[in-house]
Amino acid sequence: MGAKIDNSMRGMVGRSAAGVLAVATGSYPNSQALHAPVLVLNASYEPINVCAARRAIVLVLKGVAMAEEENGHFLHAARVAMRVPSVIRLLEYRRIPHQTRALSRKNILLRDRNTCQYCALVLGSGELTLDHVIPRSRGGLSTWENLVACCHPCNRQKGNQTPAEASMTLMREPRAFNLHTSRHIMRLMGRSDDKWRKYLFY
């Protein structure tokens, strides 16, 4: 199922895909939906990533990808109407290197599924912080194996201590975000979106 883009939108793409979104976001009924997760497939239909709907729309407008599934919402602007994708597919095959993702706050929260690794509370990204399992002041490094998602109350409780000293237990041992982790997270996310299932469960 391809994205439905009228001719006026195609004419605007050359000027700036980001500009189209800037105009359209203001009239979108729920701008939060532009942050909804979209499954990204390689040209071979292999699932390779998850991005925000906003990024997915830009890729479609630039002709880099096409929408395979839609989420039922529309993006509207003065002369623009486009269905918001739920699954997109790259038009050219991209070789995906077998390496870990860049170490970042976003990727740590994604790896830990926005779940405090001490109390198991699931929160929005703005309500979570990162905790150094071994505090920096005691030689702890900013690495995949030493950073975990943490709610603010647990972060205050742990303070400048190790988990053992604070009588706190990690839900799981923190590890680097690799291809296996990424696929596992995509499958977990796919459970709440039926349109993802045929691409993730095979």
* Same domain? 30 vs 130: no
Q: Which domain holds residue 110?
A: 105-158
Beta-carbon count within 10 A of 49 CB? 17
DSSP 3-state percent helix, strand, coil across the chain (nearest 5): 35, 25, 40
Report pLDDT for 107. 85
**What is the CATH classification number for the domain harbouring 116?**
1.10.30.50
Report pLDDT for 127. 93
Three-class secondary structure of residue 101 per DSSP: coil
Instruction: Kindly state whether residue 171 falls inside one of the protein's structural domains.
Output: no
- The contacts of residue 17 (CB under 8 Å, 6+ apart) are 57, 58, 61, 62
Strand partners, 75: 82
Report pLDDT for 28. 43
Q: Work out the percent of the chain whose per-residue pLDDT is above 90.
A: 44
* Same domain? 49 vs 127: no
Q: Is there a contact between 79 and 9 (Cβ–Cβ < 8 Å)?
A: yes
Q: Which residue has the higher pLDDT, 110 or 142?
A: 142
* Same domain? 126 vs 193: no
- The whole-angstrom separation of Cα 47 and Cα 196 is 10
Q: Is the pLDDT of residue 43 over 60?
A: yes
Report pLDDT for 17. 54
* Same domain? 35 vs 68: yes
* Same domain? 65 vs 140: no
* Same domain? 18 vs 84: yes
* Same domain? 110 vs 149: yes
- The whole-angstrom separation of Cα 109 and Cα 179 is 16
pTM of the model: 0.57
Q: Is the pLDDT of residue 27 over 50?
A: no
Report pLDDT for 97. 65
Query: How does residue 172 score in pLDDT terms, banded at 50, 70 and 90?
Result: very high
* Same domain? 29 vs 74: yes
Instruction: Kindly state whether residue 172 falls inside one of the protein's structural domains.
Output: no
Q: Is the pLDDT of residue 15 over 60?
A: no
> Number of folded domains in the chain?
2
Torsion angles phi and psi, residue 182, rounded to 5: -60, -45
Kindly report, residue by residue over 85-128, the tens digit of the pLDDT.
999 999 999 887 655 577 889 889 988 988 999 999 999 888 99
* Same domain? 11 vs 93: yes
Q: Which residue has the higher pLDDT, 20 or 51?
A: 51
Q: Taking residues 49-62, what's their average pLDDT?
A: 89
Report pLDDT for 192. 67
DSSP string across 114-130: TB-TTT--B--GGGEEE
Instruction: Kindly state whether residue 31 falls inside one of the protein's structural domains.
Output: yes
* Same domain? 91 vs 111: no
Instruction: Kindly state whether residue 32 falls inside one of the protein's structural domains.
Output: yes
Instruction: Kindly state whether residue 57 falls inside one of the protein's structural domains.
Output: yes
Report pLDDT for 21. 53
- The whole-angstrom separation of Cα 62 and Cα 56 is 10
